[in-house]
Structure 1
Amino acid sequence: MRIITGLYKGRRFDIPRSFKARPTTDFAKENIFNVLAGHIDLEGKQALDLFSGTGSITLELLSRGCDRVVSVEIDRDHHAFIKQCLAKIGAVNCLPLRADALRFVKSCRQKFDFIFADPPYALGELAAIPGMVFASGILSEGGVFVLEHGAKNDFSSDAHFIERREYGSVNFSIFKG
C-alpha cells in the first residue's frame, strides 16, 4: 500500500496477507483524487473515512493536508494496522475508531467536509448509504461524499449525485452536499 502524494508521498506499508480487506488500487486512488481536486481542496478540511479497511484512504487524506481525519473500521486487526501506520508517520490529527460504520453515521453529531466510504461490495445496506449520510446531516454544506462500490450499483437518480467514475472493477459515485 502506497501514499500517492502530499506530505507522506511514497511511503509504503506492507499489508498482512491474512487481511480480508484490500486497499483501493493505486491506479483507482490516484485517479479519483485527481477528479476530486476539481470538487474540493482537502487542505485544512475535516474528513471521515468509513469502512477504512487498511487505512489507505485515511493516510492519503492526512498526506493531502486534512486538518483532521476520523477513520472508522470494525475489524480488530485492521483497526490495529491503521493505528500502527499512523504511528509510523507520526500523525496526531487522526482519530481511528473501532466501530460499525453504519452505526457511527447514525449517531455522529460532527460535520465533515469530505466523507469517503468503501463498504464491502456485498453489504446488504450499500445502496442505502448515501441516504444515511445525507439524512444524518454529517456532511457539511458544499461538502463532498464519495462512495466506492461495484459495477451493479447506480446512484445517478440521487438528488446529491454529481458523477460516477469507473476504474476497472472499481466504481466511485460522487455526491455533493
Structure 2
Amino acid sequence: MRIISGIYKSRKIIAPKNLPVRPTTDMAKESLFNIINNLFYFDDISVLDLFAGTGNISYEFASRGTQNIICVDQDYGCIKFINQTAEAFKMPIDTIKSDVFKFLEKSGLQANIIFADPPYNFSEAQFAKIPELVFQNSMLMEDGILIIEHSKHTNLSNLNHYSYSKSYGGNMFSFFEIA
C-alpha cells in the first residue's frame, strides 16, 4: 500500500502478510479522500478509525495534516504494526486494542470523521450495529460523518442516518450524518 497525498506522498508501507486485513485499494482511497477534502480541512479534524487493520486510512489522514487520530482494532498484530509505523513516520496516531463494538458501547470519544472498515462478510445486523452505536452514543461532532466501507453486494441504505453511497470497483463507501 502507498500513501496517496500529503507530506508522506508516494511512501510505500509494507504490512506483514500474517495480518487479518483487506486494505482499501489505492483507487478507492484516493476517491474517498477527494470527497473528504471537499468537506473538511484535514488539520482541523479528529478521526476515529474503526477496524483499523493496517492503519492505511489513518496514515493518509496523518500525511494530510490531521493531528488527532485514534485507531481501534482487536488484533494485537494490527495494533503493533500501526504503532511501529506511526512511530517510524512520527505520525500523531494513537491506538486502542479493543473489540470495536465494546469500544463503541463504552467510549465517550467524539470525532469529526469516524471511518469503519469491518470485514466484508459481516451480517446485516453487524453492519447496522455500527451506526446505531455511533449515533446512540453521540460520537460524531456537529457536521461530522460516519463512513462505512463495505462490499458492493451489501446495501446499507435502509439504516438510520444513511445519507449516500459511492462505489469504486468492488468497494463501496456509505456515508451517515446527524439528521
The residue that corresponds to 2:67 in the other structure is: 67
The residue that corresponds to 1:110 in the other structure is: 109
Residue identity opposite 1:38 in structure 2: N
TM-score, with structure 1 as normaliser: 0.93
**Count of aligned positions:** 176
CA distance change for structure 1 residues 64 and 5 in 2, over 3 Å: closer, same or farther? same
Contact (CA 8 Å) 1:40, 1:144: kept in 2 or not?
no
Q: Please state if 1:163 is matched with 2:164.
A: yes
Q: In the aligned structure 2, how far is the partner of 1:85 from the partner of 1:133?
A: 27
Q: In the aligned structure 2, how far is the partner of 1:34 from the partner of 1:162?
A: 17
Structure 1 spans left out of the alignment, 5+ residues: none
The residue that corresponds to 1:139 in the other structure is: 140
| Deviations, residues 130-165 of structure 1 (Å, cap 9, x unaligned) | 122111111111101100012232222344222111
Q: In the aligned structure 1, how far is the partner of 2:139 from the partner of 2:103?
A: 10
Within 5 A, what are the aligned runs for 1:117-128? 117-124=116-123, 125-128=126-129
User: Matched residue of 1:116: which SS?
Assistant: strand
TM-score, with structure 2 as normaliser: 0.92
User: Matched residue of 2:44: which SS?
Assistant: coil
User: CA RMSD, aligned part only?
Assistant: 1.4
Residue identity opposite 1:166 in structure 2: S
Q: In the aligned structure 1, how far is the partner of 2:165 from the partner of 2:47?
A: 20
The residue that corresponds to 2:155 in the other structure is: 154
The residue that corresponds to 1:20 in the other structure is: 20
Residue identity opposite 1:134 in structure 2: F
| Deviations, residues 13-49 of structure 1 (Å, cap 9, x unaligned) | 1111222202100010001111222232322211100
Offset, 1:101: 1.1
Contact (CA 8 Å) 2:79, 2:97: kept in 1 or not?
yes
State which drifts further: 111-120 or 161-170.
161-170
Structure 2 spans left out of the alignment, 5+ residues: none
Segments of 4+ moved more than 3 angstroms: none
